[in-house]
């Protein structure tokens, strides 16, 4: 696994709502369910256009993270000259700081469903995609 600079929890708390800060989730699904970050995205859900030289990508990593996925994220964000850091602490400290919480359980989720994120900008064009008449 690549050696990444750590970002203290307090610093992340003050920065994570800024538009140039990407929170990248690289933990296993069970770990995400126990401590979910509301603004976190999987690397695949982040459009290449959202990664720029003024970007700060904060990786959410723990012992359930696959080394290959972390290395791939490191290569992708580093190639775009995006600053890359790892959030310090663990699920217990993230929950205590109010940054993460248990994922809401819904009846509509079925085994085998795939999580997805609507890409930024898709619904922000200023005009409706479809008009009800």
Q: What CATH code is carried by the domain that includes residue 63? A: 3.40.250.10
- pLDDT score recorded for residue 86: 94
In a domain, 79, yes or no: yes
Residue (of 24, 15, 58) closest to 43 by Cα position:
24
Asked whether 24 and 40 are in contact (CB, 8 A), the reply is yes
pLDDT band, residue 118 (cuts 50/70/90): low
In a domain, 37, yes or no: yes
In a domain, 35, yes or no: yes
In a domain, 129, yes or no: no
Task: Calculate what percentage of the chain has a pLDDT beyond 90.
Answer: 26
In a domain, 102, yes or no: no
In a domain, 124, yes or no: no
In a domain, 80, yes or no: yes
Q: Can you give the pTM of this predicted structure?
A: 0.71
Q: Which residues constitute the domain of residue 53? A: 5-96
Longest dimension (CA), the chain: 55
CA atoms within 13 A on the CB side of 79: 7
Number of domains in the chain: 1
């Amino acid at each position: 696994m690549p050696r990444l600079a750590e970002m203290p929890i307090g610093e992340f708390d003050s920065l994570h709502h800024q538009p140039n800060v990407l929170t990248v989730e690289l933990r296993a699904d069970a770990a995400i369910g126990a401590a979910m970050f509301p603004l976190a995205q999987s690397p695949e859900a982040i459009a290449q256009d959202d990664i720029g030289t003024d970007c700060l990508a904060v990786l959410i990593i723990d012992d359930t993270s696959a080394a290959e996925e972390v290395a791939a994220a490191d290569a992708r964000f580093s190639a775009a000259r995006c600053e890359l850091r790892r959030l310090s602490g663990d699920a217990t400290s993230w929950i205590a700081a109010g940054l993460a919480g248990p994922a809401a359980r819904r009846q509509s989720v079925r085994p085998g469903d795939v999580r997805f994120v609507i890409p930024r900008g898709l619904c922000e064009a200023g005009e409706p995609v479809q008009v009800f008449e």
